[in-house]
Amino acid sequence: MSEAAGRGRHVGQSPPCDRDWEAAGKRWQLPFVCGDLQYSEGGFKHILLRIYRPPARTAVYPDTLRQENMEKSGSVDSLGSKRSSSRQPSVDSLSSTSTSRSDRSAQAKPPSAMSSDSVSTSAELSPELRVKPKAAAKKVQRDSDKEEPQLLPNEMVQDMAQDITYFCPFIGALRGTVTVTNYRLFFKCIDREPAFVLDLPLGVVSRVEKIGNASRDVSYGLVCKDMRNLRFAHKQLEDTLRKSIFEVLMKFAFPVSNGLPIFAYEYGQVFPENGWKVYDAVSEYKRQGIPNESWRITKVNDHYEVCDTYPSTLAVPVNIPDEELKRVAAFRAKGRIPVLSWIHPESQATVTRCSQPMVGVNGKRSKEDEKYLQAIMDANAQSHKLFIFDARPSVNAAANKMKGGGYESEDAYQNAELVFLDIHNIHVMRESLRKLKDVVYPNIEDSHWLSNLESTHWLEHIKLIMAGALRIADKVESGKTSVVVHCSDGWDRTGQLTSLAMLMLDGYYRTIRGFEVLLEKEWLSFGHRFQLRIGHGDKNHTDADRSPVFIQFIDCVWQLIRQFPAAFEFNEYFLVTILDHLYSCLFGTFLCNSEQQRLKEEIPKRTVSLWSYVNSQLEEFTNPLYVNYSNHVLFPAVSLRHLELWVGYYIRWNPRMRPQEPVHQRYKELLAKRAELQKRVDELQREVTNRSASSSSERAGSPTRSITPVQTFV
């Protein structure tokens, strides 16, 4: 992609200038409403109410949307298109500034449906991010209510201890009471004003370490999965037979290791919407126009016999029979054959995903597999070439031949071009996040901040993932060429690349519900191993399968939001909430490793979906500056100088990093203002329609010209 293209405003279409708006006003005889709203860099300088016809599918670069909204010609972007019924009002992306946790706490609704991590309600610390349902959870009233948390449905106090010291890295030692339930650790110090509270879901705990008892005090360290390390101490127990409260905590923090159920199976909160119904594979394929003359839906994996880590419903080339699919599965690692993820609505170019071919050191071939990839290429009449994107470094891919794996030979696969994307494996990513944690928590060394951050290589990994997804999206959109994406097993880096590319290519996935569908489809149904990568309820913190693959994906989404602040219906708080409940074990969404396991464990019947909670209070996660860019393809800048560390997630526990402005509250105010302006636009629309109708009736006998409906949006 050329630099000139990157600097361009739009590909294939110029944005409307003020003269265009004036002409439109004369043509439609409509007044324009302008509301002035100052906003931070990366957002709008002003919001304009415009009326404009939806454009053709358009490629957009990072500064395009921002410039259009800040220059004379810009409206809230003149590029909206009709809101489909599947889209919700708007949601947003925060720019690089993080959403203040204190703001969220302030809006908290009835009792918390889940406190996502410990936080302090002290004025000096960022308050906790509590996720609360609209339907109030049952409150448990006790005599010692001041010292106990408000309990969730089926949450029970397991132990309580007084005179516990919490060593806060930001404000020093605090003495108070600790309560441990089957869901959380709750520490409260009432000696401060306001009272200091730490509310930590036990699922966040990675390990508990007894630091020593040389003195009269016994110390415990809690190493958390969300970048924190917490330290507590209490005096030696006089009753030697009585267990320490932290020994009780270990039992419930690691229920799987102790033969106990994860709290998600106990939690019985009822929400207005059933989040398990958000995603239906057949409906999503139908939205994309599948089945068609080139692609069909197969039930060959209905009982997970072909591939136990794939979903039961798959889309495959129409001319490949089910029996042949089974032979292709025998040549692909773990039986993960190439299947459709996304199809371009115009060119029919496709994004398909799979695992590595089992070529081995002897370079084995499979006629069925070669025919299958040829069928994928032939399904796209716009191109006679197929790109195979291997997420791995070429050295790693070659090394996999020693284990029976490998990569496609361009000699065997005619008209196919193989591209390596150089994204490292799960072990490298785990070590990178460990280094990042050392750099950002608890204190940041200002004098060596940039060199310390660089030494973690975290942003370099983010860059490689985004660059790979961008190349995929560019080949599909600009090159009109079908692509096949895989890594080794096809459930880690492959999911990162396909879902990010689809997010760039399809505006539907940039809505709240669309993003939920994207996660359910590309991550959950296609078998990302959440249980192994996160270690829900498992005390084996040294497990080599642990890795922040999904965290990296959400980080990349935040980078996109920062570059295109009006293109996403959801805000930063939405992403943080997803990551908090990735660990919390309050909802069943991220439990187990595959669709088959979730059905076997009856997850949809026995647990609550995270989307039930989210969709019951959409206003909390909505971006007030969102414009429906359904016809836009996002081409982000992926060089390191355009990427930033996600302060709002990785460094949110540091009180010095809190934004001065209550961003979340401001967004809610903007949503209310937006609704008010939209109502006024609708009134003007009806008025114009009525005038046009009366005007045409008065001109009886003269040729009438039909009036094309126009799209209105704020």
Q: Which residues are catalytic?
A: 487
487 close to 460: Cβ distance less than 8 angstroms: no
Q: Which residues pair with 31 in a beta bridge?
A: none
Question: Partners of 172 in the beta sheet?
Answer: 168
- The Cα–Cα gap between 149 and 595 comes to 35
Angle at 587 between CA 582 and CA 592, to 5 degrees: 70
Q: Is 34 helix (H, G, I), strand (E, B) or coil?
A: strand
Rounded to whole angstroms, the Cα distance separating 108 from 307 reads 43
Rounded to the nearest 10 degrees, the angle between the axes of helix 549-563 and helix 572-584 is 170
Kindly list the distances between the CA atom of residue 220 and the CA atoms of 217, 290, 621, in Å, as whole numbers in the listed order.
10, 56, 36
The answer for 146, left when phi > 0, alpha when psi is -120 to 50, beta otherwise, is alpha
Structure tokens at 274: 């059933």
From CA 617, how far away is CA 245, in angstroms rounded? 36
3 state SS of 485:
strand
Q: Are 598 and 604 in contact (CB under 8 A)?
A: yes
Give the 3-state secondary structure of residue 175: strand
Dihedral sign of CA atoms 383, 347, 562, 612 in order: negative
Residues whose CB is less than 8 angstroms from the CB of residue 103 and which lie 6 or more positions away in sequence, other chains included: 662, 663, 664, 665
Instruction: Report CA 639 to chain centroid distance, whole Å.
Output: 21
The upper half-sphere exposure of residue 30, i.e. CA atoms within 13 Å in the direction of its Cβ, equals 28
**Count of Cβ atoms closer than 10 Å to residue 132 Cβ:** 22
Residues 6+ apart with CB under 8 A from 705: none
**Which CA distances in Å does 501 have to 289, 295, 515, 567?**
19, 20, 13, 15
CA–CA gap between residue 72 and residue 78 (Å, rounded): 12
CA distance 131 to 609: 14
Supply 201's token pair.
Answer: 């879901």
Residue 481, judged by CB atoms within 10 A of its CB (0-12, 13-18, 19+), counts as buried
**Which residue type does 549 have?**
V
